[in-house]
Structure 1
Amino acid sequence: MGDILDELEWRDVVAQTTDVDALRKALADGPITVYAGFDPTAPSLHVGNLATLLILTRFQRAGHRPIGLVGGATGLIGDPSGRSTERALNSTEIVEEWVSRIRVQVEKFLSFDEGPTAATLVSNLDWTGSLSAIDFLRDIGKHFPVNRMLARESVSARLAGEGLSYTEFSYQILQANDFLELYRRHGCTLQLGGSDQWGNITAGVDLIRRVEGAHVHALTGKLITKADGTKFGKTAGGAVWLDPALTSPYAFYQYWLNADDRDVVRFLKVFTFRTREEIEELEKAVSERPAAREAQRALAEDLTTLVHGPEELARVIAASRALFGQGSLAELDPRTLQSALEEVPNATVPSLGASFIDLMAESGLVDSKSAARRAVKEGGAYLNNVKITDEEYVPGADDLLHGRFLVIRRGRKTIGGISVA
């Protein structure tokens, strides 16, 4: 059993711990049981959640017992952390559906094989759903001084602005009670979370001390930021989700492949299981051969395999190569091709009949028809990787890939797409 804290500190993912020396001793005396919670505030986890989920996975790989908690109860309430306005409450039916979807995602990262490190998956609705308001207030609420609750950053920030409802104010009590229940049911002594969860997590540490007289631990991960100042985990199309129906494997791969040189080594530490030696070699490559983008390719391949599997990675790489003339476009499956074309300038037309010049301009690949004609004259215009030399060429049904798609390229690296409705 390796020293997981040393590993996490080298990877620079730890934001805060309650008592690092006491936690280190508990881990050395282990194994311990550790949990992280994921609320169903959307139909999928995103790459921000992935950072916490991978810390939980690292604890299991280091010989400890992980619990993945999906917030079937807390998802009905809403966490005020990191928000400036009240969260819109979702219906019970929607939350139930999202809980089911997120359970499947969490399961992919943990091992449930029998043994001392076998993972457990729970929903906090299991113990919260039957809890009456009177029992909640008498048995749990009495342990929470209001002045301390008001002082928590997630609460005080909201009170200084638009305020918050009693519903969201109570969230920290529910999360604290989760820690207490997992301590009682599973002997759980460590809770993980994002840095914005510190107040909620330490509320649970304090509750267990008050009720059980036991000392447990908290560890939060650092907020992931990007060197260029843009928000991590966001693209022009929105959040980067783990669900392939919301962010295609191709778009997911491209997100990591396009990582800034200033970010890629940090991302390798946070999001992959590569060793220190492997990452140091890739860091050297960034410095000495930045144009080769070896580190970005390793990051994109590792994460796409981890989240979507090796078969999807193979499809994505095949699509990337084929789009730039290094493979057969006809052999790509239609879903992957469509996903790839959605990431480049593209347009949908009702039917064929327009000239290649018109379609090139329609796709947004060039600014005008005259620019499209110039590309053809200069020998830099391609349809499905075939050079077009006739300015009047009109694509026909035989040109369509999977009966629907046209891939247009200008030069070696600029791709556009046309879809026929």
Structure 2
Amino acid sequence: MPVVVYLLALAVFAQGTSEFMLAGLVPEIAAGLSVSVAAAGSLTSAYAVGMVVGAPAMALLIRRWSPRSALLAFLSAFLVAHVVAATTGSYGVLVATRVVAAVANAGFLAVALGTAAAVAGPRNTGRAISVLLGGVTVACIAGVPGGALLGQLWGWRAPFWAVAVVCGPALAAIVRAVPRAPAEQPAPTGARAELAVLRRPRLRLVLLLGALVNAATFGAFTYLAPVVTEIARLGDGWVPPALALFGLGSFAGVTIGGRLADRPGSRRALAALTTGLLAGWVLTALLAHRPPVLLALLAVQGTLSFAVGSALIARAVRAATGAPRLAGAYATAAMNAGAAAGPWLAGAALTAGHRAPLWVSAALVTAAAAVAGLRRLVRARVVEVAGPTP
């Protein structure tokens, strides 16, 4: 695997840490800026919206830039946004920095996905994307808990400074490792031509499946803490280990998903993993009151969720041939749409109890499986009616 892919993953690690670290900083931010906890929590929503809108918008804006220039511009903007966030005393400015950081993150990831796939080659696209997304999973395992610890020790501003510091080596690495003009850089494609790629039924299907699976993943992940403390009756001290188990599983999952996506005829294996993912959410909802079973299932579900998710991202990038700049943007927007919708749907179901988010995740994976199954049925019917080709 080209070393540049690992260097891009370092930047993705910093961005993933920033995206999720507010989960452990909301009370401190609320107290430090004299705002309500709900207002501090809305910073997460601001980031999610920025990610969804930013991916296609930024990809179109820098469509004629070289990947190196785009990556440097987005990561620089991301770094500056965190420096401003770490020094501001205004809630409004902090909200603005989260939106700017999210847009820059989305743009960076969209370009990085395409760059990683291009430098790795068609046969290793899935592996390259799994390495890149490994930065997000390492952020869940180490970056987010580390950010929470920094916040407890030195205040909520410290994690913002830490993210900015990590961006420094990543910027230097991009300057040194990403060529100014890759030899195989695709010729600029018209915006209409790249947007027209989104009309392809196969691409739309993969994007929809990716959004549904990611919604299931983050819907359950967001509300795992009350499952651990209220249903399993474990103490608050068990929440970090439970989240770490899910994170460790996710790290294994992106590796599995990347290798799976590179294998020909992997559709059946992906369908089997999706079935296992559905069964796992059902079992988690039914057996969450048994601590050993719950903890084991969290590791399994982390693995299956990210295996299916990363494989679908690789498929989306492949299905968007002819859109060298927007391929990564389409995948990024779809996955973040799911990441935004899942917690909202799961939160709306909380009135039915702490197990409800797990059932919502099961329902979302069921919907994904049903859509994929219906698509296969329609295609088989078309082939049957048309008859064999002469």
When Rg is computed on C-alpha atoms for both structures, the one with the higher figure is 1
TM-score (norm 2): 0.24
TM-score (norm 1): 0.23
Between Structure 1 and Structure 2, the one with more strand by share is: 1
Structure of greater relative contact order (alpha carbons < 8 Å, 6+ residues apart): 2
